[in-house]
Amino acid sequence: MVELEPIVGRYITLRIEGRDYRIYFEEAGEGTPLVCLHTAGSHASQFRHLMCDPAVTDRFRVLAFDMPWHGKSSPPLGWQDEEYRLTSDFYVAVIMAFIEGLELAEPVVMGCSMGGRVVIRLAIEHGARLGAVIGLEGSDRPAPWYHNSWTDHPEFVNGDFCVGLVSGLCAPQSPDAFRWETLWHYYQGGTGVFKGDMHFFRTDSDYVARSGDIDTTACPVYLMTGEYDYSCTPEATLATAGRIPGAEAIIMKEVGHFPMSENPAVFRTYLLPVLDKILARP
């Protein structure tokens, strides 16, 4: 008998903005819920290492779902006649529907990239119901590093292009196996899905006017960014933390835009102390 990983995958149907979405999620561990949000154009497998780390799963119930249109989650009925465009409202609605649907009490929400952006809005609007938020490669406003016209380029729906666009966001020190697995997730994306996520990430996620309203005594905010990330730069993360009283920013050495999947061994050395602090709260 081969060894089974501790990760278990399940399907649920959530009603979001008046439509049904069949959602795939994975989980492992027991304890405080830790809801993980994948990056644009990818899926929840990015968190597989975390779900196999007893230092995390001994204390946390780690859950990661594929966003609608991503991974093994389905697009809604009628998708074939629609253009997928992720909005800030829809993104928040999906996350809250997942938390409420599984009756997760005071979950910690940790998102990366677009997930690291949306946790800012979650903390603004739903902070009282959350245990904490952790923004990986996160900031409170878009900072495009390529021209908006690129998203209209025919190549933007092509996996090879998506990989070319994000390949440099991995740190050069990250192990080849994990770098290429991280990039493979971009090849797996449905046509136009990464592009649709960019609507949120580039044009519909400016929270800078409200990020200072976050009550970090109710919902602590941790922002963790890799030094090699030129999409969400360390400077952008530090500036965001500066606008949120009580937020803590951590810049990770030899890590890029995908810490949990490109270099899990290095990432855990930064994450475990943060998780310790969250559990130590009264």
Q: Which residues contact another protein by CB under 8 A? A: 145-147, 150, 153, 155-156, 160-161, 163-165, 167-169, 171-173, 227-228, 230
Shortest separation between residue 173's beta carbon and another protein, angstroms: 6
Closer CB to another protein, 90 or 161, in the complex: 161
Residue whose CB is less far from another protein, 167 or 188: 167
| Residue 276 burial (CB count, 10 A) | 11
Least distance (Å) between residue 145 CB and another protein: 5
Which residue do the tokens 């739903």 mark?
126
Token pair in block for residue 261: 């999947």
Closer residue to another protein (CB): 87 or 158? 158
CB of 153 to another protein, least distance (A): 5
- Which residue lies nearer to another protein by CB, 169 or 260? 169
Q: How far is the CB of 21 from another protein (least distance, A)?
A: 32
Cα 197 to Cα 69, 90, 241: the distances in Å are: 10, 11, 24
We find the least distance from the C-beta atom of residue 172 to another protein, in angstroms, to be 5
The two three-digit tokens of residue 244, written as one number: 């949120």
- Residue 79 or 146 having the CB closest to another protein: 146
By beta-carbon proximity to another protein, the closer residue of 183 and 275 is 183
β-partners of residue 16 are 19
The values of phi and psi at residue 120, to 5°, are -65, -45
Q: How far is CA 17 from CA 87, 125, 148, 238, 257, in A?
A: 12, 17, 28, 34, 30
Structure token pair of residue 211: 């990020």
Q: Where are the beta strands (DSSP E) in the chain?
A: 8-16, 19-28, 32-37, 60-65, 108-112, 132-136, 221-226, 248-252
Closest approach, Cβ 127 to another protein, in A, equals 32
Both tokens of 157, joined, read: 């729906």
In terms of CB distance, is 167 or 203 closer to another protein? 167
Shortest separation between residue 205's beta carbon and another protein, angstroms = 19
How far, in Å, CA of 63 to CA of 51, rounded?
A: 8
Contacts 24+ apart (CB under 8 A), 99-102: 99/33, 99/35, 99/129, 101/12, 101/14, 102/12, 102/33, 102/63
